[in-house]
Amino acid sequence: MQWRRRHCCAHTAKLLYLLSLLGVLILLVQQEWLPGFSGMLWWRSHPVVYGEGELHTTNMSSHHSEWRFVIVPQPTFKADANISSHEKEGVSSSPGDPSFENTLAASIEGELSGNITHGPFTYIINEPDKCPESRPVPFLVLLIATEARQVEARNAIRQTWGNESVAPALGFIRLFLLGKNEGELGLLQQKMLEAESRRYHDIIQQDFMDSYKNLTLKTLMGMNWVAIHCPQVSYVMKTDSDMFVNTEYLIYKLLRPEIRPKKNYFTGNNMRGFAPNRNKNSKWYMPPELYPGDKYPTFCSGTGYVFSGDMASKIYQASLSIPNLPLEDVYVAICLAKLQIEPTPPPNEFLFNHWRVSYSSCTYSHLITSHGFHPNELLKYWHHLQSNKLNACINTLRTRAGRHSNRTREKPSIAV
């Protein structure tokens, strides 16, 4: 009997000891002394969370305002193997960097209240006086991604849709965005580019390698320029050098300068429900370690999107705590999602086209973008549109009516 009592007491003591350990463990979790456990609680309330190199998704309301981003350190994307002599320290720091973690812990409001600097890359060519306070605030800034070798494309744009004479009373600014090239060819291109800049004063360039993978850096450079040098501009458009842009329709029909400029506005060809491309041979390949999620947030095709002037600083500030991605339009969408701003669908789904639209003066007088133009084609179609824009669709209707009349006359009569 004494042995049984001692055995029973021993079991009771062990049980009490285990219960006390369990109580201490619960207390530690509640006091957030064990971040590995406490972190699991807030993950469930956020549709998109970066954690340990993964992006976890949960069900999201159809309203994009329900997005919440909580970003914790993950492997940083190296923009390009030959990025430059500078690392992108100011845009995304390495995991474990205390300054990075402090930045991520800040609220969105705190991030947006800070002063914007020129960022981690120095300007090789800049136009800081393009938007002086002594002049009226411009209505539109055009940010055009280009490469040093695309001289003909830039000259064609200067003569067509990028010419300030499209809206002389309003004023808009044209800026070509470039990185740099290395080697002997790069040095020759740089000299030509600097001469071109002295002539036209419409080029900005920073010290990062100019490549497709670095298009995100190029776009952020444009956002940064607007935020610092032209923050009061009404609207900004980012587009590419092989695009046809009907700037007249964009300004007078979509943006409408007679009404008060919008705020928190972002529109273009809305790409909704797109999944990352996992084909390693694709131009748009997205490595799972950079974006493990199965869907992108709604993004606007990088071939041409438009946003209100206040968005430049907001997007750039949001980018400071979001690791880089090689797809610029997707990256901007992630910044918008963090800001809880949903891209606005355009009033007509055929306004922004990331493909080439068959040309007719009637069609092109009612669209904003069409993709895939050689400089000679751009000059040809732009001048044709300008000479026919007042009666573009009347001529089309007459042509169709003539064809219909010819078919009617050619139709054989039926004997009665």
Q: What is the pLDDT of residues 313-338, one digit of tens each?
A: 999 999 999 999 999 999 999 999 99
How far apart, in whole angstroms, are the C-alpha atoms of residue 102 and residue 104?
5
Judge whether 332 lies within some domain. Answer: yes
How far apart, in whole angstroms, are the C-alpha atoms of residue 408 and residue 171?
51
Helix (H) or strand (E) holding 145: strand 140-145
- Kindly write down the DSSP assignment for every residue of 350-392, as one continuous string: TSB-SSPPPP-HHHHTT-SEEE---HHHHHHHHHHHHHHTTSH
Q: What is the pLDDT of residues 400-413, one digit of tens each?
A: 655 545 554 455 44
Judge whether 296 lies within some domain. Answer: yes
Among the ranges given (139-143, 169-173, 253-257, 379-383), the one the predictor scored with the smallest mean pLDDT: 169-173
Judge whether 14 lies within some domain. Answer: no
Q: What is the pLDDT of residues 208-263, one digit of tens each?
A: 999 999 999 999 999 999 999 999 999 999 999 999 999 999 999 999 999 999 99
Tokens of residue 137, six digits: 């605030």
Judge whether 330 lies within some domain. Answer: yes
Judge whether 415 lies within some domain. Answer: no
CATH number for the domain harbouring residue 315: 3.90.550
SS3 category, 228: helix
On whether the pTM is more than 0.75, the answer is no
Domain count, the chain: 1
> Is the pLDDT confidence value at 106 over 50?
no
The pLDDT value recorded for residue 59 is: 34
Residue appearing with tokens 């209707």: 397
Query: For all residues of the chain together, what is the average pLDDT?
Result: 78
The pLDDT value recorded for residue 114 is: 53
> Is the pLDDT confidence value at 111 over 70?
no
> Is the pLDDT confidence value at 39 over 90?
no
CA-to-CA dists, residue 105 to 50, 129, 260, 331, 361, angstroms:
13, 36, 35, 20, 53
Q: Which domain holds residue 336?
A: 99-350
Judge whether 15 lies within some domain. Answer: no
The residues, any chain, with a CB within 8 Å of residue 56's CB and separated by 6 or more, are 43, 48, 49, 293
More confident residue, 83 or 293: 293
Judge whether 18 lies within some domain. Answer: no
Judge whether 38 lies within some domain. Answer: no
> Is the pLDDT confidence value at 199 over 80?
yes
Q: What is the pLDDT of residues 351-364, one digit of tens each?
A: 999 999 999 999 99
Percent of the chain past pLDDT 70, that is, above it, reads 67
